[in-house]
Every structure is written in structure tokens, then in C-alpha cells.
Amino acid sequence: MANNQPINHLTRELLLSLSDVVVPEHFLGFGLGLRTEHFQDVLNDKPNIDWFEVVSENFMVDGGKPKHYLHSIRELYPMVMHGVSLSIGSTDPLNFDYLRKLKVLSNELQPEWISDHLCWTGAHEKNSHDLLPLPYNDEALTHVCQRVEQVQDFLGRPILLENVSSYLSYKSSEMTEWQFFNEVARRSGCEILLDINNIYVSARNHHFNPQDYLNGITKDKVKQFHLAGHSDYGDYVIDTHDHPVADPVWQLYQQALIRFGLISTMIERDDNIPPLVDLLAEVDTARKIAQQTLGLSNE
Amino acid sequence: MSKLSLHSLQQQMMNYLIDDKADIAQHVVEHGSINRTARLHIYKNAYRMRLKETIENDHQMLGMYLGDDLFEQMVSGYVTAYPSNKTSLRNFADALPNFLANHTPFKNHPIISELAHFERLLMVAFDAKDAARFTRQRLLEIPHEQWPSLVFRFHPSVQIAAFNFNTVETWQALKQQHAPEPAKHAANVWLLWRNNERLTQFRSLSQQEHSLISLMLSGDNFAQLCEQLLSQSSDEDISQLALNYLLSWVDDGILINQ
């Protein structure tokens, strides 16, 4: 397994050029969400990219071609696992059957880390298969923290949680999302996957300043950034992951870099999948923006 | 209004998504130019679209066979009758063949349920567990005197499917973008599996081969397979016939190492 795969030359150049910038201990560089459409291209071309993120559920199967490709690609690149079914905020009991499968896959892939979302996906034994927002109050906070601790105990490692895009908020909320998120991380010991696009989408939908969100998150808890595209309908924005990263999100990414420094960053595309080369170009854009932003911020 | 507990909030949200009960709306904040009904509808729409796309992806030929209107009717009926209780969308439509066999207008045309069943079996074969295949080389290494007692095991991807209509031929015609023949009643049995190149494959089984495979599934050894052949075709060279079957199974990659 390629646990200590060297990061590529562009990232190495970036690091050398940023002698004033603190490089986090677990900095992976700039990565991409691995999608089945690109399996063959990745194996044939071995693109110049630092790491891949895989959607855990896509490989919680017993065998077959996708899993064969996954293991072949794992031999070449570091990986992280990203799940969508943990449902950490659900009032249903934790799904230990799911967690056992997650652990089996983790043992197979030896990922750098495992992440999921700060949300709930179903309740009363029914599944919405969506990332539904929680109310941000003490009851939910206590509930989520207790479950994160159970999950981390089971997996034997801290997990990362990601902020979701949301389109509604509840009257029972008593604090902002970022206050809630911070408190979950502080109390449970989990780390933070900050989705820059999701902050932008939720800020537009709920009319808050996305910079307030960034400023409200504790610096040393953030371990990964997601960058993705959305669909803008004017009055509201939907997190569709089927477009390139939008300009306002690139701008917010710059602000995130200024606040949090060098963070492992990846491009997440889930629909309307373009050729691999297009996504690699977006990864390069993320890398260059980091170089320019952190260089400027240190001058 | 008293504060809604997390438990009740989640129950009301699921009731809205699944059953269209809008009690949750009074607990949603109203602000900006988007009212709370519209905000909730974003989730409802996403819920329905996600489940519809799952069925579309899993059942592409069934979708072509039904056409847009009937497909919509099927999706709407299935999503209502079988709200997901699965962790993974991979299993959401597992009950679709059963739904189609028991709900009008689909149950009046049983080939529709059979098409759905065939497509689900293809999925099972696609991502079933891996296992080392039994090879010709391995067979040659086994002393001949041991052959009669050999018991063969199937690769985990192997599926045996019996149909009452020209279901697989219909699926193949749709796959090749040809108009399928009208549904015809005809009992037939098919073998589906994932081959040595990890591609999903299927072929029809003769009555004779099906009976041999059934014996293997019940644990009978090679000698018992030969006895079965002898009882069916006394004037043939039984050992050659049995060997031909065995070699074709080995070459297809449907047998595994013991």
C-alpha cells in the first residue's frame, strides 16, 4: 500500500515556495473524488495528482470490477474515505452493520482518514438518502457528540465531519451552524472537513455572511477542504455537484486559505462527470490559488 | 409553541418526504424571498428525483420497455409502496419485481416483473464476492481416480433464473435498440455470472444442463452427474458428454477452487 506516496512535483514546488507557511502534519496536497468513469484513465495515465477521495458506500460490495479497480488505484495513490450514510444526527440507533462494513473497507484501503457529514439521513427505519440538516440546539449537540464518540470508539480513530448544504432551518435552532459544528468538534474530538461550496450555498439560502462561518470555525480542527459546483437559481442555490467550481466559491476558498492556511483540498464532482483532464485542471486551479494566496498573505 | 424534540422533528420531516404530511412546515423558519413551503419542496423534489434516478440506472431496459408514462407510474407507485429502509441505494429497488408482479397495470403483463427480476440478477452478479476460479490446469492436477468423487462449487456471482416468458430475448433486443418481439409464454432457464474478465455474462440453459447444475447445487459429485446423464441419454458417450460440460463450466469461469 502507498501510505507514504510522495506528493507530486507541483505540490512540492508549492511547499518549497512557501517557507513561511506552516504545513500541517497530515497535509496530503491536492486531490480529486475518484469516480468510476475515470478508473481506466487513472490506471492508464497515472495522472499527476496527490490523492483520491472515494465514496465509501460505492465500495461496500463483496467484489466485482469496481472494487478491483479501486484496489489497483490504491496501490498508486493515497486515499481518504468519504461516507454519506453514517446519519450521525439520526434518533434511530447507530447502524452497526454499516459501521462494520465501513471498518472492513477501511482495513482494506488503509485510508488517511474517514469522513462523513454533520446531518441525519433518515429516522424511524426509513431512509431519505439525503443529507438533511439538524436543528442547532443543545439537545442535538448532546445527541450528536455522544454518537460521534461511539463511532470513533468503534472505528478506533477520529472521524472528520463535513458541513452540508441546506435549504431550510428550524425554529428550534438556538445557535449558528458554525457554533454547533465547532462545539461538536470540541466535545467529541472529531475533526472538520470544511466544504467551501456548501458554506457558500447555505450562506446564499439563509442570508448569512460566509466569512462569518469561516471566522467562526476553530483553526486547528480543519483537516480537509471540499470544492464543488452548484446550480444558481437566483433566489436560491442548490448544491448539485454537476458543474465546475463557481467563481464566488473560488473567492471563498481564498478566504479559507487565508484563515486556515494550507489544508488538504479536493475537487468533488458527482454528476455530469466531465473527462478526467477537465477535473485535473480544476485541481490545478485549486493548487495555484493556494500558491498565490498563501504567497501573497505571507509577503 | 413548545420546542420540537429532535425525535419528533425527524419523524415529521420523514412524514413530509414520504407521505406528504406537512406538519413540519410550522417548525421551519420563514425568511427571505423563499417561503418555507418552497424550502421544504427542495428536499421533497430531491428525495423523489434521487429514488427515480436509482430505478432508472438499475433498470434501463425496463424503462425503455415501459415508456415514459408507465415508467413514471411505476416509480410513483413503488416509491410510495416501498419507502427506502435500506442503508444503500444499491438495494432500494430490490422489491421492484415483487411490486410489478402484484400491482396493476403491471401485473397484467408478467414479463414486466420478469424483466425487473433479470436486471436485478445482473446487478447481483456484477458485484458479488470474488473467488479464485477452478481452472483446466487445476483439473489436470487431480488424479483421474478422484474425479468421480469431485464436488464442484459455483462462483458467488452465479445466478440461475427461470422465466415464463421471452424475457431475456426482450431485454437483449432492447439493449441492441431493436423492437422486441411480443411477449410469448415459454418456460426457460438462464445462467448469469461474472466471467474471468469481471464482465457480467448470461446464457440459456438446456433442460439437461439445468438438471446437472441443480444436482451440483445440492452437493452431488461428478459420478452422480454422470449417472444423471446416463439415465437421460443411454446411447451417447456419457463420459465425453460429462467432460464437455465440465470443461465448458471451467472455461466460463463459473466454478471455483474447493
How far is the alpha carbon of A33 from chain B, nearest alpha carbon, in Å? 19
Secondary structure, 3-state, B88-136: CHHHHHHHHHHHHHHCCCHHHCHHHHHHHHHHHHHHHHHHCCCCCECCH
E-strand spans in chain A?
A: 30-33, 51-55, 79-82, 114-117, 120-123, 126-132, 160-162, 191-195, 222-227, 231-232, 237-238, 264-267
Q: Residue B13 is nearest to which of A132, A137, A235, comparing CB atoms?
A: A132
| Domain contains B182 | yes
Tell me the average pLDDT of chain A: 93
Residue among A129, A120, A165 at smallest CA distance from A55:
A129
| Per-domain boundaries in chain A | 9-297
Please answer whether residues B193 and B125 qualify as being in contact, where contact means their C-beta atoms are separated by less than 8 angstroms: yes
pLDDT of the residue at A14: 64
Percent of chain A at pLDDT exceeding 90: 89
Q: Residue B27 is nearest to which of A65, A66, A171, comparing CB atoms?
A: A171
Residue B143's CATH number: 3.90.930.50
A170 and B28 within 8 Å at the Cβ level: the answer is yes
pLDDT digits (tens, 9 = 90+) for A91-126: 999 999 999 999 999 999 999 999 999 999 999 999
pLDDT of the residue at B197: 93
Torsion sign, CA atoms B53, B54, B58, B61: negative
How far is the alpha carbon of A291 from chain B, nearest alpha carbon, in Å? 37
Please count the helices (runs of H) and the strands (runs of E) in chain A: 10, 12
Separation between Cα atoms, residue B174 and residue A69, nearest integer Å: 29
Contacts of B28 in chain A (CB under 8 A): 168-171
**pLDDT band at A213, cuts 50/70/90?**
very high
For chain B, residues with pLDDT lower than 70 are: 1-2, 234-236
Q: What is the mean pLDDT of residues A174-191?
A: 98
pLDDT digits (tens, 9 = 90+) for A250-295: 999 999 999 999 999 999 999 999 999 999 999 999 999 999 999 8
Q: What is the mean pLDDT of residues A156-170?
A: 98
**Omega of the bond leading into B105 within 30 degrees of 0 (cis):** yes
pLDDT of the residue at A11: 64
pLDDT of the residue at B233: 72
pLDDT of the residue at A296: 44
pLDDT of the residue at A298: 39
pLDDT of the residue at A26: 86
A172 and B4 within 8 Å at the Cβ level: the answer is yes
pLDDT digits (tens, 9 = 90+) for A225-235: 999 999 999 99
| Domain contains B171 | yes
Interface contacts (A, B; CB < 8 Å): 133
Best mutation site among A69, A167, A230 for testing chain B: the one with the most B CBs within 10 Å? A167
pLDDT of the residue at A7: 57
What CATH number should be reported for the domain whose range is A9-297?
A: 3.20.20.150
Q: What is the mean pLDDT of residues A147-176?
A: 98
Q: How many angstroms from the chain centroid is the CA of residue A160? A: 8
A127 and B86 within 8 Å at the Cβ level: the answer is yes
pLDDT of the residue at A297: 42
Does the pLDDT at position A16 exceed 90?
Answer: no
Does the pLDDT at position A71 exceed 90?
Answer: yes
Contacts of B29 in chain A (CB under 8 A): 168-171, 173
Please answer whether residues B150 and B221 qualify as being in contact, where contact means their C-beta atoms are separated by less than 8 angstroms: yes
| Domain contains B138 | yes
pLDDT digits (tens, 9 = 90+) for B95-135: 999 999 999 999 999 999 999 999 999 999 999 999 999 99
The residues near B250 (Cβ < 8 Å, ≥ 6 apart) are B133, B134, B135, B136, B139
B127 and A63 within 8 Å at the Cβ level: the answer is yes
| Domain contains B146 | yes
Q: Residue A91 is nearest to which of B6, B32, B156, comparing CB atoms?
A: B6
| Domain contains B226 | yes
How far is the alpha carbon of B116 from chain A, nearest alpha carbon, in Å? 21
Domain count, chain B: 1
| SS3 category, A176 | coil
| SS3 category, B180 | coil
How far is the alpha carbon of A246 from chain B, nearest alpha carbon, in Å? 21
Q: Is B112 left (phi over 0), alpha (psi -120 to 50) or beta?
A: alpha
Domain hosting B172: range is: 129-258
pLDDT of the residue at A2: 44
